[in-house]
Every structure is written in C-alpha cells, then in structure tokens.
C-alpha cells in the first residue's frame, strides 16, 4: 500500500494534530494542541516555521482569501502568518471553559466541519459543528461526545464520517448539498490496540484512520472493512493528510502525550511529523468560503 515511513521533522510535539497540505505554498501545516504551537514546513521538511498560540489550538483550515482559520479554546480565529496575530472570527463554546476543539475539515462547498471535546476527557460535552463562513454562527450538528475526531467526507460529497474516539467507533452520516446531515449509523467498530483518531479519505473513497496508541494508520474500504495498515515507529498517531503534486504523499502527526519516560526513550521520534508514499492519491484540500 505504501512506501517506508520516515520522520520528516522531529519536532517532539506533545499532542501533534491537524496535518494539512497547502498546495498553493507547497507546505505542510500542523499544530501542537498541548504545546500551543503552529508548525509549518516545506514538503521536504525544510524552511521550518513555528508560532505560539494564545490557547490550545485544535486545527487549522485554509480560507479562500489565502489565509488560515484555526480553532482556539473559545472559538474560530483568523491566523495572520506574517505577524502571528489571531483575529476573532466566531465565538463558539466560550461559555464552556472545560471544552476545547480537536479536529476540523473543509468540504467541497467551502464549509468547515469541526468538533469540540472535554479537555479532561471524561464528560460527554463535545459536539460536531458546521461553520458556513464569516457572519454565520457555528451550528451544532451532533452531540454527546467525550473526544471528537476526524471529520472527513467521501469523494462524492454525500457521506460524512466522524469519530467517537473513546467509544472506539466511527459513524457515517448522509450529507445533503445544503450541509444537512441525517441517517447517523455505525460505520466502523475499532478493533485491536489503540483508539481511532483523525482521518482522511482517498480518491477511491477508502478511509485512512490514525490510531492513537496503536502504532499505525488503518485503511478501510467504503463498506467499513479494514483492508490494510501502515506501521509507525511510535504509538500515538493522530492525523493523516494527503499532499504533494500527485496527492500520493501522506503526512501524519504524532504525539508524546500519555507516554511514560521509558516509553519516550523507546520511541525517540514520538511527536514528530512523519511521511510516506501511498499507491492511491488523496483528495484535494478545500478552502473555507469566507
């Protein structure tokens, strides 16, 4: 299914997340949620840049004005790459200081899907949101999650996938052209070690799921059957993203969170940004319509 996995940037993120391919600038972006950092580098790992965030940052998403939008603890913000400033865009869950945001995805219509979760990872206060652009409120589309992850959408834009990490399940929803979702159903019950985390869909409609604590990325066919896996030299894999000119280069974030000192010594590259080549290309990265 793929070439050898290697570490592109040994950044040692506490909780790396949100791998994102920027085709315009030919860069890969990602965040360190617990480290409150944004990272960016060239596709070969060069020209590395990092910025501090004012609070835990769950994800980044490109916008159609050429900028970036991110999820901080109290809502959505524009991120200004040139000076590292964060400009408020939409308040979301500002009244829930125990929550934070964890993962996001932009669909082909330019809508942002993202999830919230309990920062203490014990209460089912998390929700799945849809944000249609500046001036619009973020709409809660589903609820009852402790840890949300991985909004991802099928190539024909009719199915939305969403992860309930602690329940070790991935659900599918029917997605309408207006952004409405219905028909929630179980798509995958995770088996084996670890918990399902962030994910991405390839051009054939197969779902690539990072496994936190599982040392791997799993690949599922459109019927929810596991067909392959990619093994990593560290346990906590958090999010894959397809990139490169042919969309066959996979980038994946990882985490040191939850590892003992002995684990960290045994997994010196944990928290790094990894990459490998895939036989099947991914889907283009869309931009949030502002």
Whether the model pTM is above 0.85: yes
Q: How far apart are CA 218 and CA 216, in angstroms?
A: 6
Edge-to-edge strand ranges of the sheet holding 207-212:
195-201, 207-212, 216-220, 226-231
Q: What pLDDT is stored for residue 1 in this prediction?
A: 56
Q: Residue 287, Cα to own-chain centre: how many angstroms?
A: 15
Contact between 126 and 115 under an 8 Å Cβ cutoff? The reply is yes
Q: Whole-angstrom distance between the N-terminal and C-terminal Cα of the chain?
A: 37
Strand pairing report for 216-220 and 207-212: antiparallel
Q: Which two tokens stand for residue 263?
A: 């684990």
The answer to whether 128 and 145 are in contact (CB under 8 A) is yes
Say what the pLDDT of residue 181 is: 98
Active site residue 197: yes
> Among 197, 202, 221, 228, which one carries the catalytic annotation?
197
pLDDT tens, the chain, 290 aa long: 567 999 999 999 999 999 999 999 999 999 999 999 999 999 999 999 999 999 999 999 999 999 999 999 999 999 999 999 999 999 999 899 999 999 999 999 999 999 999 999 999 999 999 999 988 999 999 999 999 998 999 999 999 999 999 999 999 999 999 999 999 999 999 999 999 999 999 999 999 999 999 999 999 999 999 999 999 999 999 999 999 999 999 999 999 999 999 999 999 999 999 999 999 999 999 999 98
DSSP string, 76-114: EEEEETTTTEEEEEEE-STT-TTEEEEEEEE-TTS-EEE
**Residues 249 and 277: beta-carbon distance below 8 Å:** yes
What pLDDT is stored for residue 80 in this prediction? 94
Cα–Cα distance between 152 and 114 in angstroms, integer? 10
Cα–Cα distance for residue pair 148/21, rounded to 1 Å: 21
- pLDDT tens per residue, range 162-183: 999 999 999 999 999 999 999 9
Instruction: Tell me what pLDDT residue 134 has.
Output: 82
pLDDT at 2: 60
């Amino acid at each position: 299914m793929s070439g050898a996995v290697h570490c592109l940037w040994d950044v040692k993120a506490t909780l790396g997340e949100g791998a994102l391919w920027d085709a315009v600038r030919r860069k890969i972006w990602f965040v360190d949620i617990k480290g409150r950092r944004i990272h960016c580098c060239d596709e070969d790992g060069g020209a590395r840049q990092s910025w501090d965030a004012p609070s835990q940052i769950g994800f980044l998403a490109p916008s159609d004005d050429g900028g970036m939008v991110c999820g901080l603890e109290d809502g959505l913000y524009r991120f200004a790459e040139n000076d590292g400033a964060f400009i408020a865009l939409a308040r979301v869950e500002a009244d829930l200081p125990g929550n934070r945001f964890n993962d996001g995805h932009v669909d082909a219509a330019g809508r942002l899907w993202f999830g919230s979760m309990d920062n203490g990872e014990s209460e089912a206060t998390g929700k799945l949101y849809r944000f249609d652009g500046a001036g619009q409120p973020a709409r809660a589309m589903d609820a009852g999650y402790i840890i949300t992850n991985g909004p991802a959408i099928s190539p024909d834009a009719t199915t939305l996938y969403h992860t309930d990490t602690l329940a070790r399940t991935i659900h599918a929803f029917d997605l309408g052209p207006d952004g409405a979702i219905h028909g929630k159903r179980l798509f995958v019950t995770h088996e084996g070690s670890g918990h399902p985390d962030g994910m991405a869909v390839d051009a054939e409609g197969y779902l690539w799921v990072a496994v936190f604590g599982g040392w791997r990325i799993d690949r599922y066919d459109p019927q929810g059957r596991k067909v392959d896996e990619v093994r990593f030299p560290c346990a906590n894999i958090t999010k894959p993203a397809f990139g490169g000119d042919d969309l066959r280069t996979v980038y994946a974030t990882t985490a040191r969170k939850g590892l003992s000192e002995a684990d960290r010594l045994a997994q010196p590259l944990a928290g790094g940004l990894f990459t490998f080549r895939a036989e099947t290309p991914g889907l283009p990265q869309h931009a949030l319509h502002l």
